Amino acid sequence: MSHPFETLTPDLVLDAVESIGFLSDARVLALNSYENRVYQVGIEDGEPLIAKFYRPQRWTNAAILEEHRFTFELAECEVPVVAPMIHNGESLHEHAGFRFTLFPRRGGRAPEPGNLDQLYRLGQLLGRLHAVGATRPFDHREALGVKNFGHDSLTTLLEGNFIPRSLLPAYESVARDLLKRVEEVYKDTPHQNIRMHGDCHPGNMMCRDEMFHIVDLDDCRMGPAVQDLWMMLAGDRQECLGQLSELMDGYSEFHDFDPRELALIEPLRALRLMHYSAWLARRWDDPAFPRSFPWFGTERYWGDQVLALREQLAALNEEPLKLF
């Protein structure tokens, strides 16, 4: 059976945008996105718009609208974020079986790894985001946890026969050992789940005209605040300590942070490693994935994963980063 996204042609994209009252100039540019499909669409006598088409059957309408409401809430509190456009009173639209949302076009560049001045400003921005996120919970979006990001990911990989037989015992063994250790650290580490970005890698914190803004809240969910912080750090332990200090100096201006959560950095990194492999496996029926990730399923990839999980298990037994 063909994948639903195979029917999402440029003509259908234009028809969808025009179905809610915009007149396109027939220019469509596919942007770099795999989970959903995102296009820049030219508009007659206006700035181009960004049209995001949601992956079918991933989120419920209630979950998507909850993401939108969180984004609007951030914008109302003057947190710089690219929010969905509201047209005819709606932010979520449907055309030919596809749900889609329009955004204003706002470019920018990703932060420079290890730039201390930028990390201070990113800390301020994340502190503002979490100050809003902590005011109430999500009702329709899942929380980040060891089961859904760890155990469920391992089940997907084992049951789907994605791991070469030669490496299956090694991968399963280290993955189970790693998850056991992650569970222990989670149990021993006090933390509070708040609404957070959820996929806060540097590419989702864009800088334009010397100002940072947040993009792509598609993965927002409940989780510990440190999940949105640790991906801002780069380099060896000593470098990360200096970066963490700058990041938290900015963050603490707007929101309190429990330093005990720093013990969750390596467990969260471990969960992200496993979840990424499972994400590729779950999307393998989408033709874009075999084309874009041809190395998935090779012995080299899984050999590297075994090594990465072993290194992560060792990292979990080291002293966590601390604020001074």
**At 52, phi and psi to the nearest 5?**
-110, 120
Task: Report which DSSP code applies to 139.
Answer: S
- Torsion angle of the four alpha carbons 236, 242, 247, 248, in this order, in degrees rounded to the nearest 10: 120
216 catalytic? Reply is yes
Using alpha carbons only, what angle is made at residue 141 by residues 139 and 145, rounded to the nearest 5 degrees? 115
216 is in an annotated binding site: yes
Residue from 246, 256, 264 nearest 123 by CA: 246
11 catalytic? Reply is no
**Cβ-based neighbours of 288, under 8 Å, separated by 6 or more:** 5, 34
25, 188, 209, 216: which one is catalytic?
216
Residue from 192, 226, 182 nearest 321 by CA: 226
199, 218, 228, 286: which one is catalytic?
199
Using CA atoms, how far residue 114 sits from 51, 226, 249, in Å, is: 33, 18, 15
Burial annotation 132-158 (CB, 10 A radius, 16+ → b, else e): bbbeeebeebebbbbeebbbbbbebbe
Place of tokens 């979840």: 275
Residues 215 and 76: their CA atoms lie apart, in Å, by 16
Residues 276 and 283: their CA atoms lie apart, in Å, by 11
Alpha helices in the chain (DSSP H): 10-19, 61-76, 116-133, 146, 152-159, 168-188, 237-251, 265-282, 288-292, 299-316
161 is in an annotated binding site: no
Angle between helix 168-188 and helix 265-282 axes, rounded to 10 deg: 140
Question: Which amino acids are annotated as binding site, given as ranges?
Answer: 204, 216
Q: Which residues are catalytic?
A: 199, 216
Binding residue positions for Mg(2+):
204, 216
